[in-house]
Amino acid sequence: MNEPNNYCYITYQVSTDNGKSWHKAILNKGIKPLSKAECWKRYINKLKNFPTQATKDGKWESKNIKNKILANPAMKFSDKPFEQISKEKKPKNTKDTDKPTTTK
């Protein structure tokens, strides 16, 4: 049997106040290697607990029995841990171009 060699980062948005505010929930942080099949299993198991529907504006969302809304599920795959990827990203050049300029 092959060793797991993939990393998956699984997130979704949750609202407990009927969509007025949202927070990101992380189902899998993508730090430990898993097989792609295991990643998909975790993703699908989470989603099947929420009956789905489309909102008036066409966005996918779902409510569970505790009246929490689940929206925007996402899963990303990588061949290295997501923690390592975020450390490797270079900081962006942060020039403050939105400040008004003054002339003398």
pLDDT beyond 90 at 101: no
- Tokens 């998956």 — which residue? 8
As a whole number of angstroms, the distance between CA 2 and CA 36 comes to: 12
**Residues whose CB falls within 8 Å of the CB of residue 67, separated by 6 or more in sequence, listed in order:** 16, 18
* Domain spans in the chain, listed from the N-terminal domain onward: 13-79
As a whole number of angstroms, the distance between CA 78 and CA 8 comes to: 6
* pLDDT 10s digits, 43-76: 898 877 666 777 788 776 676 657 788 888 899 9
Report the pLDDT value the prediction gives residue 87, as an integer from 0 to 100: 65
- Of 11-20, 35-44, 47-56, the range with the lowest mean pLDDT is 47-56
